Chain A
Amino acid sequence: MIAVGLWFMNHAMESYSIGTLRRMGPGFFPAVLGGLIAVFGVLIALPAFFREGDPLGFEGRPFLMVCLSIGVFAFVLERLGMVPAIFALVFCAAFAKPGANLIENLALSVFLAISAVAVFIWGLGIPIQAFRWNI
């Protein structure tokens, strides 16, 4: 187990429990929960200190690009509509893996955009605009 990571986890849990205790009024249940979480946080963290830590294996590149692609999608969707948002998403996501290929991703974007319009707008009638101009 990952000693350092668990310590952060535990810390977050404990500060959360303080937040719950403040609201004793309508929330007997959350207060009890908060307390229990703190207890379990300690239960997990204590043995973790005495164990050998594994490397975390965190992968920055996919993490960053996947997050970015979703964020960009939401941002573009509100301003330019769904089709440009899909293009933005695919291109951001492609950089999560090394060796992205421009033409391949262009083809994938076109394919996804067409199927998304067909399924979501024509098929299910979801009120979402394929293109819009709202900057």
Chain B
Amino acid sequence: MEVFGDLLFGFQTAFSLQNLMYCFIGVFLGTFVGVLPGIGALATISMLLPLTFYVPPTTALIMLAGIYYGTQYGGSTASILMNLPGTPSSAVTCLDGYPMSNNGRAGVALFVTTLASFIGGSIGIIILTLFSPALAEVALAFGPAEYFAMMLLGLVAASTLSQGSPVKGIAMVLVGLCLGMVGTDVQTGQQRYTFGIPELSDGFNLVAIAMGLFGVGEVIASVNKIRDQKADQRQKITFRSMVPTKDDWSRFWWPMLRGTGVGSFFGALPGTGTTISAFMAYAVEKKISKTPERFGKGAVEGVVSPEAANNAASQTAFIPTLTLGIPGDAVMALMLGAMIIAGVQPGPRLITEHPEIFWGLVASFWIGNVLLVILNLPLIGMWVKLLQIPYRFLFPSILMFIAIGVFSVNNNTFDIFMVLIFGVFGYFLMLLRFEPAPLLLGYILGPLMEEHLRRAMLLSRGDATVFVTRPISAAFIFVTTALLLWAIYAAIKGKINPKIDD
């Protein structure tokens, strides 16, 4: 089997001392920020984005990816012990995880979520390994028209399916696209929107945008919101308390597999990330359960299925990112940004041209998942202690890492002021309930979209029907239109009866 040879090669890459170390740092930090409410994967990855300049691209991506799936593990800990989701995707875990903890079964809850996370993640990796090379091969046949249509679909899907109003989501994507226009035009060399500021001729700094929107904005919003909590100290989490009963096991396997299925599917779609997967998985379990009244009172199924789902989704989300160069959500957009910074062109050629990145990353997922099980079960006590770090110590530290991080990109204080501006912007967006995530997607895909649009127009000699006459592109356009119509329909329905919000 060719796949095994490639995977073996990947493990050789991933097992180098440096990569192992960064993988460990990634999953460690991921669990850390996953456990802590008020700071998520997005903010952390944007804070560590500058590192990409100092280590090889494979190593940097291994670490950033580790943060992403590490938060999925850590998030459930805070949900179960404190009824406080550490990450949005583990919000569902609170519903049944915290009641389990109140029933004195916190240990069991932690054990089954970690096991479900591990198995869900592993199946996600297997799917990623098997499907990505095939998908990349198909994508090699894509021309500029297909790319443009596909990116359009990705952006529309991400903005309409994410949380919040779809109209606002699309508006944010558009603003992001405009921000992406700033700088030197690739084809004519013309300066656009730089207003004579030389620092802007390369465009806005991705690191500054990401840190401002997700880092500074979040900090301002949560300084007064997050109260210092005392973790539940009533029960000691011992190994013995983690052993599930026979009844728990019988309620474990099927929900876990169903959750994995739901998660793998939604993770691979553009625009639907880990949060939606977890909610869907919970809904599915509740619907098919013979005893739906047990949900919300500590049902094992209710924690197993969403946790398996969000971990599977966090692995399959890499499929479109690595094979097509289309990010499914904002975290994936940052990963793409990191590749571009490192000079690696994302797209279907990534697997053949940079096998060490693709297979090294896949292999590091296995290593990372094993490390996470070790980090989360025997060391659970450490994370519980960490939950007690007061936020008043945390937020100046976050601000410092943001400021130094962004400075280190260009050794330029101009970028620190850019962070400040984007932070203010991000805070106001948050106040007005606009999602900043689609903006980032638009910013990263904007220049690529423009390039493909122009190239498609050049090849077709200005004939715009090329998008609907080529079958693959037509299919993408069709789905995009359908999504838009659905968004409009939902918006109108919401206006007539504003009480049906969700």
Contacts and interface: CB of A to CB of B under 8 A. Distances in A.
A90 B424 contact: no
Q: Which of B221, B395, B404, B416 has the most A CB atoms < 10 Å from its CB? A: B404
A103 interface: no
Contact of A66 (B178, B219, B397): B219
Contacts, number: 158
B480 to A, nearest CB: 14
Contacts of B417: 71, 74
Contact of A74 (B190, B193, B403): B403
A18 interface: no
Contact of A126 (B171, B216, B408): B408
A60 to B, nearest CB: 10
A74 B408 contact: no
B408 A128 contact: yes
A110 interface: no
Contact of B178 (A20, A63, A120, A126): A20
**Chain B interface main SS type:** helix
Q: Which of A61, A62, A100, A127 has the most B CB atoms < 10 Å from its CB? A: A62
Interface in A97-135: 97, 100, 104-105, 108, 112, 116, 120, 124-128
B396 A108 contact: yes
Contacts of A116: 400, 404
Interface residues of A, number: 63
B168 interface: yes
Contacts of A16: 178
B462 to A, nearest CB: 11
Interface string A20-48: 10010111011001101100110110010
A125 B171 CA distance: 41
Nearest to A63: B220
Contact of A67 (B192, B424, B450): B424
A127 B220 contact: no
Given A70-B423, A82-B404, 5 more contacts: A20-B178, A33-B178, A59-B220, A74-B420, A124-B408
28 contacts: A1-B433, A5-B428, A5-B432, A26-B185, A27-B192, A29-B449, A29-B450, A30-B192, A33-B178, A36-B174, A41-B171, A44-B168, A59-B221, A62-B219, A63-B220, A66-B223, A70-B402, A74-B413, A74-B417, A77-B416, A82-B404, A89-B400, A90-B400, A94-B396, A108-B396, A116-B404, A125-B54, A127-B411
